[in-house]
Structures are given as C-alpha cells and as structure tokens.
Amino acid sequence: MSWRVSAPLALGLLTAALVLAALAATAHGAVAIPLRELPSLLWGAPTPENALWRNVLIDIRLPRVLFAMVTGAGLAISGAAMQALFRNPLAEPGLIGISAGGALGAVAAIVLFSGGFWVTAPMAFVGSLLATLCAYAVGRRVPGVAGLLLAGVAITAMAFSLIGVLTFIATDAQLRDLTFWNMGSLGGANWKLLAFLGPWVLLVSAWLVSQWRVMNALLLGEREAQHLGYALKRVRAKLVLASALIVGPLVAATGTIVFVGLVVPHLVRITLGANHRWLLPATVIAGALALVLADWAARTVVVPAELPIGLVTGLVGGPFFLWLLARGRRIG
C-alpha cells in the first residue's frame, strides 16, 4: 500500500490540521478555555468575569503554542536539510555537533556560573555554533561529506565527555537543573522570546526552503551536482550554517527536544516523495504540527503537573520510528 498523496492536497491537509491543533492546544490545559470565548478574549474588551481566561490565554497559552510552532518548524526543516546534505534519511542536526555543543554550553553555564535562563541560553547558543564551526573547519579537509560527518561524531563525543566532567563536579541543585534542561521544555515561552526567535527562525527556514533545487541536485550525488554547476563546498557551508543558526538558538531556549528533526522529514518523505520543492514546505508545517501536539500532551497528560516535552517526543517518536523501520519502508 502506497502512502503517496498529491503535494498540494498534503499541504492543505497539514495546514488545516495545524490550525485545528493550535486552537485545541490554546483552549485546553490546566485552565480550560471554551473555544467560543477565544475571539472575545483576544479582541473584546476585558471584563472581571473573563480576567483569568484572558490572562492565561494572552500571557501563557498563546505565546507557548506559537513558540511550539516555530520550534517544531525550525527543528524539522533543519533535519530535512541535513538529510539532503548527507543523502541519508537518518541524518539530523545533532549529527554535526549542534545539539551536543549547545548542551555543553548550557551545562557550563549552570555548573560554572549558576546561570539563569539569560545566562544559560546565550552560552548554549555559542556552544552549538562553535561546535558546528569546528566540525566544518575540520571536516572540510576531507573530500565529500564523510569528513564533516566524522568530525561531528568526534566533537559530539568530546562535548559529552566534558559534560560528564561538569556533571561530576555539580552540586545537587545544579544536577536537578541539568536534568530538567536536558529533558526539554517550552515553559520559558513568552512574547519577548517569540519576538526574537520567531522572525529569526522563519527567515532562515524560508531561505532553506528556497534552496530546494540545490537539495534535489545533492540527491543525485556530489559529482552530478557539480556537473549541474553547484559549488559543493559553498553549498555545504551554507546549509550547515543555516541549520546551526536555527537549531542553536532553539536548543538554547528549549533544551534538548529529540526526534523532531529526524522523524518529521522522514514521514513527509514517505508521503510526498523526495522532491524538495514540496518536501521542505510540508516539513515546516508538519514539524510545527508535531510539536504543538507534543506540547499539548505534555501539558495535559499529568495535569496540574507538566511532563518535559523532550520525554514526550522521545516516548512517541522513538517507538514510531522503530515501527517505520520494521515495516521495511523505502525512504526517499
């Protein structure tokens, strides 16, 4: 049985599903808000009767749902770009050290500086960017993408070794902070963070979507892509840098959120095929949808407590990915 559907239909269905999921996630949580009240809460005059609903919606729920959409879209399209670059459907941004570098920066901020969010986030971003630049600087000395891949593996191993050292010297309170950061959360979402990261992620993602011809050429092989007139070293540098500029700030703001950059492009490729003209925009929408649903589940499964979103994506994405592999589906 084929899962392939027409691209315009798939984009329309994904967009409709995203809108419905966003509305449901906005209305449901520890404080339930009736859907029929959303328009009046957003655009109507505030009243004492709806003050609680309005405060929850405007200050907490809406920025969090929008931030989930931005984060999911960014992680997913970065994964699609890495899969095109390595011509491997099992590739994802962490393969070149982005996630490990961000984790090292965050752990260093927590252990060495007892940093809050505005210390941890910048250091995580700097760590992810430095790890990516190091992987590219070393990997470019080897022809093809093999050098980049091996450099990323080595830098990831070094980063996790340093994380182990810092974890060993951390206090009990710092260990608790490290644990929760590594499990991922969208709880820090607010309008200021969204105003900065939203346009940033969407602009870089839009640039990646515009590179669909390059990514299609990469699927043919490096020699064929060169014959088509693409400068592969420049292409690699741009794709790696764009992915780092998306994933780095997101990892800094949310912690570790696994499987979105791996599973979402994978599923879209099964449904639409490997033509990046349609694969990339569909991946953006599907990534936003996946993380909105994951965050909704994280907020509602154990009300009034909240599960870390990294646990939800891992618990759902891991078995689902294994199921896909077990079915022997051909990817790409």
Q: Which of 247, 281, 248, 250 is nearest to 264 (CA)?
A: 281
pLDDT of residue 276: 96
Taking CA 242 as the corner, what is the angle to CA 322 and CA 79, rounded to the nearest 5 degrees? 10
What predicted TM-score, i.e. pTM, was given to this entire model?
0.92
Task: Report phi then psi at 120, rounded to 5.
Answer: -65, -45
CB atoms within 10 A of CB 29: 20
pLDDT of residue 115: 73
Taking CA 24 as the corner, what is the angle to CA 18 and CA 27, rounded to the nearest 5 degrees? 140
pLDDT of residue 77: 97
The series of mean pLDDT values per 10 residues for the chain, 332 residues long, is: 74 96 94 91 83 92 97 96 90 88 91 82 89 89 83 93 94 89 90 94 96 94 87 91 92 90 91 93 97 95 90 90 70 43
pLDDT of residue 3: 61
Residue 167 region, left (φ>0) first, then alpha (ψ -120 to 50), else beta?
alpha
pLDDT of residue 1: 44
pLDDT of residue 331: 43
pLDDT of residue 26: 95
CB 239 within 8 A of CB 245: no
Domains of the chain plus CATH, in order, are: 7-326 (1.10.3470.10)
Residues 6+ apart with CB under 8 A from 149: 86, 95, 96, 139
